[in-house]
């Protein structure tokens, strides 16, 4: 009897698992689909963030299929591979998925992890697969003559931190001279990326910069905040991720540091960061390149079209309209628009190769008029790319947590491009010399 009971349980479990698999979006990998490989993370120390971001990303791909029948009739397909925000697993996922479709080789790879993007930057160039780093990644890849297949789109970490400095200067009659700013950062490639730009800003702005790292995953910050209390800075610029963010806000409250003097990066400015911190988050500021809310027409339409058809990706539908969900949608919009741009040149209704989609990314022109047509006005800034500028925007807004929601407190702010972009050029030139690359724009 016990054996039969176990057998029935096994059959039931197998049936349930099959039901779950059948409910998931199909990962088609046929030559007549525009296949998109998604090395995602929905578990691990940053899984909560990944769930919202990739939920929005996948929902938009599904939305394009349901609403438009694909891109000019070409259906989008995709497959996820769990990386757990781990570099080695990210590379393994890329190698596993890049040949799922012999035509597209993945169309574009968006790992949403700076460390993974560093590990893939040479591989993707060799394989002719666009590496899309929307709001993260190796930022000197702005120079497309050296990094033709890498796209740190929308806004880079350096331009973001420069915009934050400009915002803070604006709060002080246009100057931060004589002020002290602590840069509290995740001790990883992500956290270190903006340091060179912040040092340059400190030099010309004549403010004192104090750099304080926090070890991964960031749930231990007692010593760092005791030092911040001792330093007594005018502001803290905060480059956190995952559990590090709520931990920082609670620690700031504990040592009595005002949260309205802390400005986080866009990866430290989501509901996943503030809601768990409770009252400690009230007044906290962060940069963002996308707005929150379900009142954005495309977000409301995704709810109607995708979730109305029972094909939504999010288990917690209440997260529709959250910062990270909307960011995932905006990242998918940029990807789909690159495919659409490529089709405009190479043939509407045709499956685009990785090389053709690369051209699409390098020639994006997402205007306000196009954003309006997509129902995405205000969701993200205009994006116009070229060989010289794989970033395409460089603008952010500043938002503030009022205790229950994010409220915008600025319009679009562009970082100091004349200061920052030469830093990209110099870094890219050094990389080209090390790798024996002759910088040249691809046709």
Task: Give the pLDDT band of residue 11 (cuts 50, 70, 90).
Answer: very low
Q: Give strand pairing partners of 35.
A: 77
**pLDDT tens digits for range 264-305:** 999 999 999 999 999 999 999 999 999 999 999 999 999 999
- Flag whether pLDDT at 140 surpasses 90: yes
> Radius of gyration over alpha carbons of the chain, in Å?
22
Task: Give the pLDDT band of residue 28 (cuts 50, 70, 90).
Answer: very low
Q: Average of pLDDT values for 357-362?
A: 97
According to DSSP H, which parts of 256-395 are helical?
271-274, 297-302, 323-346, 354-362, 368-374
State the Cα–Cα distance between residues 216 and 243, nearest whole angstrom.
10
**pLDDT tens digits for range 66-117:** 999 999 999 999 999 999 999 999 999 999 888 776 655 558 899 999 999 9
The model's pTM is 0.89
Q: Which tokens is 8 given? A: 């029935």
Which pLDDT does position 12 carry in this prediction?
Answer: 37
Report which secondary-structure segment, H or E, holds 11: helix 2-23
**Contact indicator for 182, 212 with CB cutoff of 8 Å:** yes
**pLDDT tens digits for range 155-185:** 999 999 999 999 999 999 999 999 999 999 9
Is the CA virtual torsion 11, 15, 18, 20 positive or negative? Answer: negative
Q: Average of pLDDT values for 27-34?
A: 66
State the Cα–Cα distance between residues 257 and 184, nearest whole angstrom.
13
Q: Lowest mean pLDDT: which of 28-32, 333-337, 368-372?
A: 28-32
Helix, strand, coil share of the chain (percent; to 5): 50, 15, 35
**Contact indicator for 217, 243 with CB cutoff of 8 Å:** yes
Burial 94-122 (b: 16+ CB within 10 A, else e): beebbebbebbbbbbbbbbbbbbbbbbbe
């Amino acid at each position: 009897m016990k054996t039969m009971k176990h057998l029935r349980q096994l059959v039931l479990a197998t049936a349930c698992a099959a039901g779950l698999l059948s409910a998931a979006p199909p990962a088609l990998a046929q030559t007549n689909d525009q296949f998109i490989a998604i090395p995602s993370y929905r578990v691990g120390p940053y899984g909560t963030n990944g769930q919202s971001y990739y939920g929005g990303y996948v929902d938009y791909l599904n939305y394009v299929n349901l609403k438009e029948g694909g891109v000019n009739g070409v259906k989008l397909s995709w497959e996820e591979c769990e990386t757990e925000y781990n570099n080695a697993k990210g590379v393994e996922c890329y190698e596993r998925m890049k040949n799922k479709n012999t035509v597209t080789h993945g169309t574009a790879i968006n790992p949403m992890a700076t460390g993974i993007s560093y590990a893939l930057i040479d591989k993707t160039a060799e394989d002719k697969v666009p590496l899309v780093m929307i709001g993260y990644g190796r930022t000197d890849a702005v120079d497309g003559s050296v990094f033709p297949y890498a796209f740190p789109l929308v806004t880079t970490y350096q331009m973001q931190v420069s915009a934050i400095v400009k915002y803070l200067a604006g709060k002080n009659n246009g100057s931060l001279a004589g002020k002290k700013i602590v840069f509290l950062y995740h001790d990883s490639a992500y956290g270190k990326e903006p340091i060179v730009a912040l040092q340059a800003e400190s030099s010309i702005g004549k403010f004192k910069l104090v750099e304080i790292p926090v070890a991964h995953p960031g749930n231990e910050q007692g010593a760092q905040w005791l030092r911040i209390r001792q330093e007594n800075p005018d502001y803290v610029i905060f480059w956190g991720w995952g559990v590090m963010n709520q931990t920082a806000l609670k620690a700031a409250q504990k040592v009595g540091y005002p949260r309205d003097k802390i400005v986080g990066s866009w990866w430290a400015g989501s509901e996943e960061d503030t809601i768990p911190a409770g009252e400690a988050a009230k007044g906290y500021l962060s940069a963002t390149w996308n707005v929150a809310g379900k009142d954005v027409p495309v977000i409301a339409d995704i709810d109607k079209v995708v979730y109305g058809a029972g094909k939504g990706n999010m288990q917690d539908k209440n997260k529709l309209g959250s910062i990270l969900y909307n960011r995932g949608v905006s990242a998918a919009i940029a990807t789909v628009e690159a495919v659409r741009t490529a089709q405009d040149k190479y043939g509407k209704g045709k499956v685009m190769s990785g090389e053709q989609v690369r051209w699409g990314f390098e020639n994006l022109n997402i205007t306000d008029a196009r954003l309006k047509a997509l129902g995405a006005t205000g969701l993200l800034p205009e994006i116009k790319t070229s060989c010289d500028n794989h970033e395409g925007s460089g603008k952010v807004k500043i938002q503030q947590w009022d205790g229950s929601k994010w409220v915008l407190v600025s319009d679009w702010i562009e970082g100091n491009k004349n200061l920052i972009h030469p830093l990209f050029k110099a870094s890219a030139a050094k990389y080209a010399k090390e790798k024996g690359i002759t910088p040249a724009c691809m046709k």
